[in-house]
Structure 1
Amino acid sequence: MEHAFWQSRWQNDQLGFHLPFVHPVLKRNLPGFGLAADARVFLPLCGKTLDIGWLLGQGYRVVGAELSEIAVAQLFAELGADPQPSEWAGGRCWRHGGLTVFQGDIFALTAAELGSVDLVYDRAALVALPPAMRPRYTEHVLALSAGAPQLLITFEYDPAEKDGPPFPVPQGELRRHYGQRYAITELSRKDVLQDSLNFREAGVTRFVEVAWRLDERRS
């Protein structure tokens, strides 16, 4: 999607994608990754998700990437944190305690700037992008994270019934993007249509949330 689309969503408070709770997929599956107590978790296109505060409360360090300055400002305000922004090539970098957020264009972010990553938690990034953008995004995440394991959430529904975002990402496409680098394991699958008012009103007949675990293949 164009930058202007997402900037407009935040400016107009059109935040149907923002969950008012910590995602159950994260709470249920994170222990299985066996992360060290001070592991660093990367959230691409993080918005102001409550998952960040939960991760910080578990003792993890968190680094996010987010286009909207409104989202980042609200994230830190809701955490009661007073960040000290600095400039980076793609925008502004906000830091406070164990949280760092690169606000600006994620494609301008480099692995050197991001630093080490122990887990990528992609809860709403891949599904926010139309098909034409997803190959570039997945290649970039691989380069940024050096193949760190991922906890990733996708959706499956009939695109003829509604256009995204969030967009459907079928299993075959996910494996095209990540299958050469990762062993891909389905963790859970649930029809969440009853929790998705916009999709129900649009006449979508099924809206399936799928959680995946991606582990780097060993030669």
Structure 2
Amino acid sequence: MEHDFWQARWENEQLGFHLPFVHPILKRNLTSVELAAEARLFLPLCGKTLDIGWLLEQGYQVVGAELSEIAVAQLFEELCVEPTVTQWPGGQRWQYADLTVFQGDIFELTADELGPVDLIYDRAALVALPPAMRPAYAEQIVALARGAPQLLITFEYDAAEKDGPPFPVLPEEVAAHYAGRYELTERSRKDVLQSSLNFREAGVSRFVEVAWSLSPKHAP
């Protein structure tokens, strides 16, 4: 999926993927991960999710990665804070207090640039990418995580009924990407078709949201 696709989505305000509330899966499952009071969480392809503000309110440090400068600017605007903007090799680094967002290509981000993280919360990154890009993305996330656990959200539906994104990512694919390094635990699954207007209007018969906990098999 080309960068231009996502840039155009933000420019044209086609933001059906942006939830107007904090994700219930995050609220339900964050306590299942043993995190220190000021733990550092990484949100790949974060957009301007309201989850960031909620995590900051809980006392966590938050680091995001996001391609769209429009999304990052709106995130800080909606948080009512004025960031400091500096350069990193892949784009711009936006910072305010406990929030840092690397605006640019996530594939150019390095573990050293990112710094240590205690949890990766993949709410809408893996599912945003077409199949051909997902193996490289998963490898990049493993490299950035340096042994940190993950909270991952995927979707399951019949790809013949609708084109993504978000794309369906079935359990066997999650295992293919991550089972070599993580213990995989399915936390929940729920058909959310009734609250997913685009998928309902497209005639999709089921649209199942699945939450996964990924625990590293070996300490970093």
Name the TM-score, length of structure 2 as normaliser. 0.99
C-alpha separation in 1, matches of 2:215 and 2:23 = 21
Measured after TM superposition, the shift of residue 34 of structure 1 is 1.5
Measured after TM superposition, the shift of residue 147 of structure 1 is 2.2
Q: How many residues align?
A: 219
Partner of 1:87: 87
State the superposition RMSD in angstroms.
Answer: 0.7
Partner of 1:102: 102
- In structure 2, what residue type is equivalent to 1:194? Q
- In structure 2, what residue type is equivalent to 1:68? S
State whether residues 94 and 101 of structure 2, in contact with CA within 8 Å, keep that contact through their aligned partners in structure 1: yes
Partner of 1:23: 23
Partner of 1:195: 195
> What pairs with 1:65-84 in structure 2 (closer than 5 Å)?
65-84=65-84
**Secondary structure at 2:84's aligned position in 1?**
coil
Mark the runs of 5 or more structure 1 residues left unpaired by the alignment. none
Measured after TM superposition, the shift of residue 218 of structure 1 is 3.4
C-alpha separation in 2, matches of 1:34 and 1:49 = 23
> What pairs with 1:157-176 in structure 2 (closer than 5 Å)?
157-176=157-176
C-alpha separation in 1, matches of 2:195 and 2:147 = 33
Partner of 1:54: 54
Q: Give identity over the alignment, percent.
A: 73
C-alpha separation in 2, matches of 1:32 and 1:172 = 23
- In structure 2, what residue type is equivalent to 1:96? Y
1:183 correspondence with 2:183? yes
**Secondary structure at 2:184's aligned position in 1?**
strand
C-alpha separation in 1, matches of 2:202 and 2:26 = 28
* Residues 30-60 of structure 1: CA deviation (Å, up to 9, x unaligned): 0110200000000000000000000000000
- In structure 1, what residue type is equivalent to 2:149? P
Mark the runs of 5 or more structure 2 residues left unpaired by the alignment. none
Runs of 4+ that moved beyond 6 A: none
C-alpha separation in 1, matches of 2:130 and 2:11 = 21
C-alpha separation in 2, matches of 1:147 and 1:127 = 21
Measured after TM superposition, the shift of residue 161 of structure 1 is 0.3
- In structure 1, what residue type is equivalent to 2:130? P
Partner of 2:131: 131
State whether residues 147 and 218 of structure 2, in contact with CA within 8 Å, keep that contact through their aligned partners in structure 1: no
Measured after TM superposition, the shift of residue 145 of structure 1 is 1.1
- In structure 2, what residue type is equivalent to 1:27? K
**Secondary structure at 2:47's aligned position in 1?**
coil
C-alpha separation in 2, matches of 1:107 and 1:216 = 22
Name the TM-score, length of structure 1 as normaliser. 0.99
* Residues 44-96 of structure 1: CA deviation (Å, up to 9, x unaligned): 00000000000000000000000000000000000011001001111000000
C-alpha separation in 1, matches of 2:30 and 2:144 = 21
C-alpha separation in 1, matches of 2:5 and 2:174 = 24
**Secondary structure at 1:85's aligned position in 2?**
strand
